[in-house]
Amino acid sequence: MENQSISIIGGGSWATAIVKILSNNVDKITWWVRSKETAEFISKYRHNPNYLSDVEFDLGKIRITTDIREAIRESKTIILAVPSAFLKDSLAGIKSDDFHGRSVFSAIKGIIPDDLLVVGDFLHKQFDVPIQNIGVITGPCHAEEVAMERLSYLTIASPDTNPADSLARQMACRYIKTTVSDDIYGTEYSAVLKNVFAIAGGICHGLGYGDNYLAVLISNAIQEIKRFVDAVHPIGRDINDSAYLGDLLVTAYSSFSRNRMFGTMIGKGYSVKFAQLEMNMVAEGYYATKCIHELNKQYNVHMPITSSVYRILYEKMSPRMEIKLLSDQLK
């Protein structure tokens, strides 16, 4: 058991699930939430009132704070788990010195919209965090299933596998199995792209396409992921590992997938704005679609599914027409 302090930044469902996971092995957890009301509720009732509210926390191990600088300075290991679109605002008062000497892991699975950067690159460029001190938490792991303690698998990736090994041991428990990887870029971009493809799957479901077509869509999607991550960071990797293919499958098929849910609403005819308001949760794939579309102008990778989702979400093309055109390109 490793008792090194860990700080979690974020108050949503995935941040809540990570706090639950770490509570099994870590005796000192600092948990930053934005809302003072949420912090007071958790401190009083030991539950997050907004997400995974059935999970009860051991406040002997967890300290809640709304001071993000204090939370970061409290620990040598930081886990970021806020939606990518809100990360810059959350870190607005933070300086490079606050991250000095710390390992920073992203559990966000998104791209910073204005900067077209994955979280690791954003931390490196904005806060001078050395690449070897940056990591990614990924894998097929829905927060809702963590709350129910259903067996799940996580991959902890970092160029320097020592901090990744340490965090993997701290997160491993009866219902969480962990593996370690040094493929920080491949795992992070794959985690971003799978949200785009989950939206595509949801759109097809909303339009009335069946499981047969979805299977073809997803088999083409993993090839699209491979082409893109090989172009961005060409190293040896097995795209069939759970950090890549497994994460794609659960996000594309699961009823817990907010990106699939968002896509289903679009396929049924709802506007993007209405679908976002109705869900009350952030579908990372919406922002990721535009970011990957723009980023791919540098690489010119053949990405027909991403292009179709982009045209539906941002150019207001007919979902039915786009998916029909896409179906002629799949094989």
Rounded CA-CA distance 149/175 in Å is 6
Neighbour tally for 210: CB within 10 Å: 9
DSSP lists the bridge partners of residue 271 as none
b (16+ CB within 10 A) / e for 78-112: bbbbbbbbbbeebbeebeeebbeebbbbbbbbbbb
Sign of CA dihedral 156, 157, 163, 165: positive
Cα separation of 183 and 161, whole Å?
10
How crowded is the C-beta side of 124, counted as CA atoms within 13 Å? 13
Q: Is 62 exposed, middle or buried (0-12, 13-18, 19+ CB in 10 A)?
A: buried
- Return d(Cα 165, Cα 161) in angstroms, integer: 6
Query: Scanning the structure block, which residue is given the tokens 């799940």?
Result: 152
List all residues 6 or more positions away from 321 whose beta carbon is below 8 Å from its beta carbon: none
- Nearest C-alpha neighbor of 129 from the set 115, 119, 114: 119
> Quick one: DSSP state of residue 77?
E
Q: What angle do CA 122, 245, 151 make, to 5 degrees?
A: 95
* Under 8 Å between Cβ of 105 and 77: yes
Query: Hey, which residues does 77 pair with through a beta bridge?
Result: 6, 103
**Residue 297 is a catalytic residue:** no
Q: Which of 142, 173, 177 is nearest to 156 (CA)?
A: 177
Pick the catalytic residue: 36, 61, 125, 194?
194
Residues in the chain: 331
The catalytic residues are: 194
